[in-house]
Amino acid sequence: MSKKFQLSRRTFLRGAGALMALPVLEGMLPATARAQAQSAIGSAPRRLAVFYTPNGIHMPKWTPNGTGTNWELTPTLQPLAPVKNDVLVISGLANDPGRPDGDGHHAAATAAFLSCAKAFKTEGTDFRAGISMDQVIANHLAARKATRFPSLELGNDAGKGIGNCDSGYACPYANNIAWAGPTTPVAKETRPKAVFDRLFAGFDPNATQAQLEKRRAYGKSIIDFVRDDATSLRSQLGTTDRRKLDEYFTGVRDLEKQVEAIEADGPSCNPGISPDDNEDPRVKTKVMMDLIVLAFQCDLTRVATFMLANARSNKVYGFLGLSGGHHTYSHHQKVDANYEALATIDRWEVEQYAYLLERMKGIQEANGKTLLDNSMVYFSSEIADGNSHQHNNLPILVAGSGGGVITPGRHIRYNGAPLANLYISMMQAMGVPGITTFGDNGTGPLPDLKA
């Protein structure tokens, strides 16, 4: 790499009014960091991704028997086989602030999912919960101007905006896991094209009106418009960065095609999908996972949350051979057929999570580690058993090592420790200073996350 050539971490490619972010390349690091990267040493951004799934989990087919490194994949966790050594299974944590006043377990616990703060029971607009741990991290990164976007909130289902969504609890509690403050839920984006345009196809603020009109008229790939800029840049890169750039362009173009197909075809329906939930989650979920990966890869954001469905969702997964709704099955009443249906849904949910992990593990970063190595990818639900609305012994997975602060490939059991303590550990790992308490009952970082 020529000493005169400098490539900023904030470099974008431009063309015909299009603006395209670049992945983090070795050429973006200082010379000393590049030397370290060659020996797989050095620093890289740490990221946090959150994967929420509703209605709890059928725990008998989830929880491993062994602890430490001596644990086996259960039927529900079997999709994690390719990344087993990258996953930490955590049992025995409780989120007591998620308990409702009376009924309303799903909405109340979802409001407390990342905030660990008890939600004020109301059907009106006077809702109140607490700031979520992802937004604490996002605020810290925003103050440092670390990324273009402090955080990214995604989901498959929009849901009702106001009114009662669960036994007297307002819909914002059920539809959001990110909260910028006690009275400010952060709305998620449920349209893949809107997310793609926001991240990768934003207009160049310096573009002329003629350039903008040209881009709109041609409707070409974003890559087509920045091709000249990309060709010039590629000629100045080393072999490793050229390979990374080519892989990145291929990934962006493939994702563009998927997003375009979703928009062109409209909602993709299945025979068993209910009218209110008629978008095919198989397609949409993978596109959303790809968007998170590319956003991390380009260092556009380091915090992302995803809701597979809203709290108390009664989505019908016809493509799994099921005819009943998810929430209905979760009230299993100890019926074997309901157990089997729940286990089928649970396994499919873990498959989507595993897809995200494998995508992240396949991306090498400039410090010689993978994107997954440099991240924490959190999976859980608002409750454990859906029939009893259990708020203790929650189903929790944390993948990646967070840049070395977590030792994955293990199963750890705790005895009723607050979920908030895990979040304190995560916030500390993401560099948030002075965090020793959190939510209603967080008392300090969770021990033993690093062996």
Residue pLDDT, tens place only, 46-80? 999 999 999 999 999 999 999 999 999 999 999 99
Q: Over 80: is that where the pLDDT of 237 sits?
A: yes
The predicted model gives 296-300 an average pLDDT of 93
As a whole number, mean pLDDT of residues 406-432 equals 98
Asked if the model's pLDDT at residue 274 lies above 60, the reply is: no
Residue 93 placed within a domain:
yes
Q: Give domain status of residue 286, yes or no.
A: yes
Indicate the pTM of the whole model: 0.90
pLDDT higher at 297 or 268: 297
Find how far residue 429's CA is from the centre of its chain: 17
Average pLDDT over residues 329-333: 98
Q: Work out whether strand 152-155 and strand 184-185 pair parallel, antiparallel, or are unpaired.
A: unpaired
| 202 pLDDT tier (thresholds 50, 70, 90) | low
Higher pLDDT, 194 or 57: 57
Q: What is the pLDDT of residue 203?
A: 55
Residue 29 lies in a domain: no
**Alpha-carbon distance 92 to 98, whole Å?**
15
User: How many angstroms separate the CA atoms of 102 and 380, rounded?
Assistant: 23
Range of the domain at 120: 46-200+269-429
Average pLDDT of span 258-273: 58
Q: Is residue 176 part of a domain?
A: yes
- Going through 121-259 in order, the beta strands assigned E by DSSP cover 152-155, 164-166, 169-170, 179-181, 184-185, 202-203
> Is the pLDDT at 401 greater than 50, yes or no?
yes
Could you give the angle at the alpha carbon of 361 between the alpha carbons of 360 and 363, nearest 5°?
A: 70
pLDDT digits (tens, 9 = 90+) for 87-120: 999 999 999 999 999 999 999 999 999 999 999 9
Q: What is the pLDDT of residue 38?
A: 40
What pLDDT was estimated at residue 236? 87
Q: Could you tell me the sign of the dihedral formed by the alpha carbons of 205, 209, 214, 217, in that order? A: positive
The CA distances from residue 25 to 28, 199, 225, 430, in Å, are: 5, 18, 21, 21
Q: What is the rounded average pLDDT for all residues in the chain?
A: 89
Which residue's structure tokens are 């603006």?
Answer: 19
CATH of the domain at 326: 3.40.720
User: Is pLDDT larger for residue 159 or for residue 432?
Assistant: 432
Tokens of 61: 């087919």
Integer CA distances (angstroms), 375 to 64, 176, 416, 422, in order: 24, 23, 26, 15
pLDDT at 386 over 70: yes
Q: What is the pLDDT of residue 330?
A: 98
Residue 358, pLDDT score = 98
- Report the pLDDT value the prediction gives residue 279, as an integer from 0 to 100: 75
Assess contact for 432 and 92: CB atoms under 8 A.
no
Q: What is the pLDDT of residue 356?
A: 98
pLDDT, mean of residues 12-38: 67
Q: Which residues, in sequence order, are CB contacts of 47 under 8 Å at separation 6+?
A: 296, 302, 303, 304, 371, 374, 375, 376
Task: Provide the pLDDT for residue 277.
Answer: 39
How many CA atoms, within 13 angstroms, populate the side-chain half-sphere of residue 47? 33
CA distance 180 to 304: 14
User: In this predicted structure, what is the pLDDT of residue 333?
Assistant: 97
Identify whether 212 is part of a domain: no
- The count of structural domains within the chain is 1
pLDDT tens track for 130-167: 999 999 999 999 999 999 899 999 999 998 888 999 99
Per-residue confidence (pLDDT) for residue 224, from 0 to 100: 83
Q: Is residue 435 part of a domain?
A: no
Q: Which pLDDT does position 31 carry in this prediction?
A: 52
- At 20 the pLDDT is 85
* Residue-level pLDDT at 15: 73
Q: What pLDDT is attached to residue 173?
A: 98
Least confident of 175-179, 247-251, 360-364, 381-385: 247-251
**pLDDT of residue 404 exceeding 70:** yes
Domain assignment of residue 441, yes or no: no
Work out the percent of the chain whose per-residue pLDDT is above 90. Answer: 70
pLDDT score, position 1: 40
Per-residue pLDDT averaged across 346-370, rounded?
A: 95
Can you give the pLDDT at residue 268?
Answer: 38
- Name the DSSP letter for residue 450: -
Residue 151 inside a domain? The answer is yes
pLDDT at 3 (0 to 100): 42
